[in-house]
Copies of this chain bind each other. A is one copy, B any other.
Amino acid sequence: MLGHGFMGGAHSRALAALRWLEDDPAATPRLVSICGRDRTSVERARRRWGWESVELDWQRQATDDRVTLFDNAGPNALHLGPTLAAIAAGKHVLCEKPLGRTAREARTLRDAARDAGIVHMCGFNLRFLPAVRLARELVDAGAVGEPTHFRARFLASSALSPDQRRTWRFHRRGAGSGAVADLGSHIVDLARYLAGEPVAVSAVAKTFVATRDDRPVDVDDAFAAVVEFGNGAVGTLEASRAAGRRAGECAFDLDGTLGSLSFDVERLNALDLIQASKERRRIEVTAPEHPFMQLWWPAPGHPIGWGDSFVHELRHLLSAIATPSAVAPHGADFEDGYRAALVCDAILEAAHTRRRVEVAPS
C-alpha cells in the first residue's frame, strides 16, 4: 500500500477485517509493505496497522515480487505514476478516487489497466454502503421505472476558514480540482451507478477564499451543476467545502416513472423507497434477508458505520481477483474512474466557459 493518511488507515483496517469473513485464513491477504516519504511516520503506521515492512520508494514497492495487489491510497498527484508502474509490473491495482487529477490521467490509467489484463478498481467506497447497493438492486429490478431525475449533494465546510492551510487539496497540481475532485467525484459516480450516463452539464464553480498562506488557491471550493443523462433524465449535482457549518452531509434522490429513492449518509443504514404517493418505506438495510447483507460484517441486524464500507470494498476486490470475476457493475473499475473524471472535467469546463458542455468519452 502507498499512503498512510486517513485512507491508508481505512484500507489497512479493512484488509485486516477481511479475515472475519473467511473460513480459510490462507485466503486472507498478507500485508507486505506500506510506503511513504517520512520514515518515522510510515514506521508508526506500519506498526499500528500491521504491515510487514516499510518502503520509502514507491517504484520499488510497485515492482516488489511479493506484491500481488498494489493499493494506492496516496494523494491525488501520486495516483498516476505509481499506479502505472504497478500495472506495468503486472500487479492488480486499487486506486483511490479520483482516478486521476484530470480525465487525461484517468484515461491513461484506464488504457494501461485494460491492456494489461489485470484487475483494477477505483475506490468509490459509497457503492459499498449496503443502502447504496440496495438502491442499485431496486433500480435493476424496475422499482422506480425509467429515471426522470437524479439529485445529489455532498456538503462540508472545511474550507470556509481563511486560516485553513494551503495543503495539496488547495492547488491544481496537487489535487486536480477542489470540491469537484474530492466530493464531487463521489456523487458523479453515484449518478452513473444509479441513474445512467451523463451526456451534458452546465455548471458554476466558486473559490470563496482566493489565497491561503499568501499563495493563490487555483481550485474550486464548491460547484453546482445541472446534468443531462443519456436516458433523458435530468438532475443536479452539488458539492462544497464552504457550506455553512455542514460537516459531510451527503445525500441523493432518484426519481423515475414508477417511484423514488432517497438516501442520506446521516441514516447510513436506511434507504427510503416511495412507490405510492404519500407513502415512504424506510428500509433498514441491516435486515439479514437481503441476500447481499449476508456477506457483510458485523452480524446482520445491527447498524454499521462508514468504515465498514471499506471492508466490503476490499472483499469485493479480493474476490474479483480470486475468482476471477468482474469488478463492475457493483464495484467501480478504472473505466468507471475514467468516466467519472470525464464528467468532473466537463463540470469544470462548463463552469470556466460558462457554457453547456457535452461529456465526450474517448
Q: How many A residues face the partner with a CB closer than 8 A?
A: 97
Task: Give the segment of A60-68, A116-124, A168-176, A259-267 that binds chain B.
Answer: A259-267
- Contact status B274-A278, CB under 8 Å: no
- Contact status B274-A245, CB under 8 Å: yes
Q: Does A240 contact B (CB under 8 A)?
A: yes
Number of copies: 4
The 8 Å CB contact of A247, one of B254, B287, B350, is B287
How long is the Cα–Cα vector from A270 to B303 in the complex, in angstroms? 13
Which residues of chain B come closer than 8 Å to A244, judged between CB atoms? Answer: 144-145, 148-149, 254-261, 274
A114 to chain B, nearest CB (A): 33
Which residues of chain B come closer than 8 Å to A42, judged between CB atoms? Answer: none
- Contact status A25-B47, CB under 8 Å: yes
Per-position binary interface string of chain A over residues 292-304, scored 1 when its CB falls under 8 Å from any chain B CB and 0 otherwise:
0000011101111
Whether A248 touches B204, Cβ cut-off 8 Å, given contacts A25-B47, A149-B240, A278-B283, is no
In the complex, which residue of chain B has the Cβ closest to the Cβ of A354?
B356
How long is the Cα–Cα vector from A255 to B157 in the complex, in angstroms? 9
The 8 Å CB contact of A222, one of B48, B149, B274, is B149
The 8 Å CB contact of A9, one of B20, B148, B222, B279, is B20
The 8 Å CB contact of A260, one of B10, B243, B354, is B243
The 8 Å CB contact of A149, one of B243, B282, B301, is B243
How long is the Cα–Cα vector from A242 to B232 in the complex, in angstroms? 12
Q: Does A236 contact B (CB under 8 A)?
A: yes
Q: Does A165 contact B (CB under 8 A)?
A: no
- Contact status A204-B243, CB under 8 Å: no
- Contact status B255-A243, CB under 8 Å: yes
- Contact status B206-A204, CB under 8 Å: no
Whether A10 touches B298, Cβ cut-off 8 Å, given contacts A244-B274, A303-B265, is yes
A212 to chain B, nearest CB (A): 16
Could you tell me which residues of chain A, from 58 to 113, have a CB within 8 Å of some CB in chain B? none
Which residues of chain B come closer than 8 Å to A223, judged between CB atoms? Answer: 234
Which residues of chain B come closer than 8 Å to A269, judged between CB atoms? Answer: 305
A220 to chain B, nearest CB (A): 10
Task: Give the segment of A11-19, A184-192, A315-323, A336-344 that binds chain B.
Answer: A11-19
Q: Does A203 contact B (CB under 8 A)?
A: yes
Which residues of chain B come closer than 8 Å to A247, judged between CB atoms? Answer: 277-278, 284, 287, 301
A306 to chain B, nearest CB (A): 4
Which residues of chain B come closer than 8 Å to A302, judged between CB atoms? Answer: 248, 305-307
11 of the cross-chain contacts (CB-CB < 8 Å) are A9-B20, A17-B17, A20-B48, A23-B44, A24-B47, A148-B206, A202-B204, A208-B232, A224-B227, A279-B287, A281-B282
Given pairs A282-B282, A302-B307, A304-B305, 18 additional interface contacts (CB within 8 A): A9-B20, A22-B48, A149-B155, A149-B238, A202-B226, A202-B354, A206-B232, A206-B234, A226-B226, A244-B257, A247-B277, A278-B286, A280-B284, A297-B307, A298-B307, A303-B305, A304-B306, A305-B305
